[in-house]
Structure 1
Amino acid sequence: MASYPAFPVPADEDQRLRDLERYGLFEADSDEHFDRILDLTAAIFRTPIVALSLVEADRQWFLARRGLDVRETPREMALCAHAIVHDDVMVVPDARADERFRSNPLVFADPHIRFYAGAPLQTPEGHNLGTLCVIDREPRDLSAEQRAVLHRLAQLAMRELELRRLAHLCPVTGLPTRHTFLTIGEREFGRARRDHHPLSLLLFDVDNLRLINNRWGHAAGDRVLADLVQLARTFLQEQDFAARVGDGEFALLLVGIDADQAMALAEALRTAVTHLPGVHTHSDFRLHISGGLTTLAAQDHAFPDLILRAEKALELAKGNGRDQVASLYAGP
């Protein structure tokens, strides 16, 4: 057990970790944009060590770094693990004089941290993924103006992270695609197993997307899909996850709600779709969807078990005449 005080856990820890997963940053390589931010930060603050750190459940790792040989450290050693509980810049003028850090191996041994300042990498939703930090081997402090500059540099780094995330989204709907859906689904599957909370999966298909594209063109079809996604988002909680998994097929991963709640949500969405504004330009047209719903069961071994059942349920809904939600659940 560590001989130094435990790191504080942010109040939003569960969703913070979800956000970190959904940015797709694990083991990502640095690039020239992050390197330029670090070079600029080092030039401004004249510190031998600068880093972009990301704080996971049990470790911090460096998306980019200068002056450090290691790629990661245990979370309990990370000064950044303390910085992410703040929305402003955390400054430690002398870690040897700070009871939180003076017995930390990173302080009394290599790299011999004395001064630390970390500005949070905060998502648009307000969750701190990590920090942009500057470190020195000599005690020092930052003025209010310097703290503001470090905060602005962290915002610039966060903007690059956001641009990287956006580059992997569907350009029509703004949703992640199937590959990301499978990755996040596995993580939520594991989390639901660990925490013993429900997990539901709704797959739904736009029944008449081909008609829209053929009659009014693909631009009209794209507008319908964008409107549909905007509507679907209003039914989701922050921890839920939506993805476009096919041409007109979407997936909603519903975290923490049981089968009855998930079915009520699915039916409410199906009904709301028929009243979408902007779809009624043509009086003979009504948009409708078919859905397949399932819920995590004790005998499920992996996330694809849920996908397979939801796909079968979706086929059942289509085979029964469409414009409906069918459900399939694992047996006892």
Structure 2
Amino acid sequence: MSPYPDYPIPADEEQRLRALRRFAVLDTPEDPEFKRIVELASAVLGVPIALVSLVDRDRQWFLARHGLEAQQTPRTMAFCAHAIAEPELMEVPDALDDPRFNTNPLVLDEPKIRFYAGVPLRTGDGYNLGTLCAIDRKPRVLDPHQRVMLQLMADLVMRELDLRQRSMQCPVTGLYNRSVFFRFGQQEFEQARAESTSLALFNFDIDDFRQINIRWGHQAGDQVLLDVCAVAQQLLGHEDLFGRIGDEEFSVLLVNASISRATKLAEEIRQAIAAMRGVFDHSDYHPNISGGITQLADRDQSFADLFYRADQALYLAKGNGRNQVASLLVD
């Protein structure tokens, strides 16, 4: 049993953790951009310690730190584990007077936290990844100007994280590019193996897409890509991973999904795209897709095994006449 009160678990915890992983910054070398922000926070607020803390499943990991040697701490000890459950700034004037923290080893021993203020690092879709926090070894209270400054610096952290995430995305569709999709796919593969949960994969491409570019130009082709993505995204859940794998090929990783759910969803996407109508140079265009689905199997050694089997199923669908979904399952 923990010697101090449990931290709150956000209602959207699993989705929050997936959002955190998809920024791909955990366990990376310290970055000078984030380092400058925590140094600025320390100077502006007059505190000895400032951190960019990311709250993982069982730990808080510091993307940047000033005034603290530790790279991470258990989540059970993390003030930030409480702060991410708050909509705005969480301020603790004196940790010894707060029953949530007055038995915490980080208060009773080094770094002897007395004051804490943390602003949640919130994504555009509402997930709190962690905090930008300021820590002092003596009790204090921020004044209104300092609270505003801490919020502005937290906004800078999120802007930098968002810029880095956009660099991992296809510039046309905003989906993850192939290399990033494979990286996240491998993470989901390893988690599914560790937790004995299911994964399903749906690969699809747009039939005769090159003819669109030839007949109407690349601007028309880009519009078709955007429209197809928009239709598919309306049917996907927040936990599903969607990537553009090639010129006209896409992949959807369905987390905790049975093959029956994957089959149903794939067919819904195919039918929704087939119902689309486009007009280019007064000519009607009716897109279709071919797709392949598969499910995580005991023999799979990596995410790549799952992916290439879904691709084989896609080739089966194309070989059988296109505008259909085929499945390929193994034990």
TM-score, normalisation: structure 2: 0.93
The one-letter code matched in structure 2 to 1:109 is D
The residue number in structure 1 matching 2:67 is: 67
Q: Percent identity?
A: 52
Post-superposition shift, 1:194? 4.6
Deviations 1:268-293 (A, max 9, x none): 21122233343555536422111001
The residue number in structure 2 matching 1:85 is: 85
Tell me the distance in 2 between the aligned counterparts of 1:278 and 1:41: 51
Gaps of 5+ in 1: none
**Residue 281 and residue 326 in structure 1: after superposition, are their counterparts in 2 closer, same or farther (change >3 A)?**
farther
Post-superposition shift, 1:165? 0.6
**Residue 282 and residue 324 in structure 1: after superposition, are their counterparts in 2 closer, same or farther (change >3 A)?**
farther
The residue number in structure 2 matching 1:7 is: 7
The residue number in structure 2 matching 1:270 is: 270
Deviations 1:84-108 (A, max 9, x none): 1111111111112222222222212
**Residue 200 and residue 95 in structure 1: after superposition, are their counterparts in 2 closer, same or farther (change >3 A)?**
same
The residue number in structure 1 matching 2:38 is: 38
Q: Which range is displaced more, 143-152 or 113-122?
A: 143-152
1:300-315 equivalence runs, <5 A: 300-315=300-315
1:103-114 equivalence runs, <5 A: 103-114=103-114
The residue number in structure 2 matching 1:241 is: 241
The residue number in structure 2 matching 1:29 is: 29
The residue number in structure 2 matching 1:157 is: 157
Q: Secondary structure at the match of 1:176?
A: coil
The one-letter code matched in structure 2 to 1:184 is F
Tell whether the 8 Å contact from 2:291 to 2:317 is kept in structure 1 after alignment: yes
**Residue 279 and residue 192 in structure 1: after superposition, are their counterparts in 2 closer, same or farther (change >3 A)?**
farther
1:192-211 equivalence runs, <5 A: 192-211=192-211
Tell me the distance in 1 between the aligned counterparts of 2:126 and 2:221: 34
Tell me the distance in 2 between the aligned counterparts of 1:169 and 1:279: 28
Tell whether the 8 Å contact from 1:279 to 1:287 is kept in structure 2 after alignment: no
Gaps of 5+ in 2: none
Tell me the distance in 1 between the aligned counterparts of 2:60 and 2:248: 39
Q: Secondary structure at the match of 1:234?
A: helix
The answer to whether the aligner puts 1:212 opposite 2:215 as a matched pair is no
Tell me the distance in 1 between the aligned counterparts of 2:23 and 2:63: 13
The one-letter code matched in structure 1 to 2:70 is V
Tell me the distance in 2 between the aligned counterparts of 1:279 and 1:244: 24
Q: Which range is displaced more, 19-28 or 282-291?
A: 282-291
1:50-199 equivalence runs, <5 A: 50-199=50-199
Q: Secondary structure at the match of 1:271?
A: helix
How much is the aligned-residue C-alpha RMSD, in angstroms? 2.0
**Residue 322 and residue 38 in structure 1: after superposition, are their counterparts in 2 closer, same or farther (change >3 A)?**
same
The one-letter code matched in structure 2 to 1:316 is L
The one-letter code matched in structure 1 to 2:8 is P
The one-letter code matched in structure 2 to 1:322 is R
Q: Which range is displaced more, 25-34 or 306-315?
A: 25-34
Tell me the distance in 2 between the aligned counterparts of 1:252 and 1:280: 28
Q: Secondary structure at the match of 2:87?
A: coil
The residue number in structure 2 matching 1:20 is: 20
Q: Secondary structure at the match of 2:117?
A: strand
TM-score, normalisation: structure 1: 0.92
Tell me the distance in 1 between the aligned counterparts of 2:327 and 2:312: 9
Deviations 1:21-68 (A, max 9, x none): 011112233434323322332232110111111111111111111111
**Residue 186 and residue 279 in structure 1: after superposition, are their counterparts in 2 closer, same or farther (change >3 A)?**
farther
Tell whether the 8 Å contact from 1:224 to 1:279 is kept in structure 2 after alignment: no
The one-letter code matched in structure 2 to 1:310 is A
Post-superposition shift, 1:219? 2.5
1:249-260 equivalence runs, <5 A: 249-260=249-260
Tell me the distance in 2 between the aligned counterparts of 1:168 and 1:263: 28
Q: Which range is displaced more, 238-247 or 95-104?
A: 95-104
Tell me the distance in 2 between the aligned counterparts of 1:167 and 1:301: 29
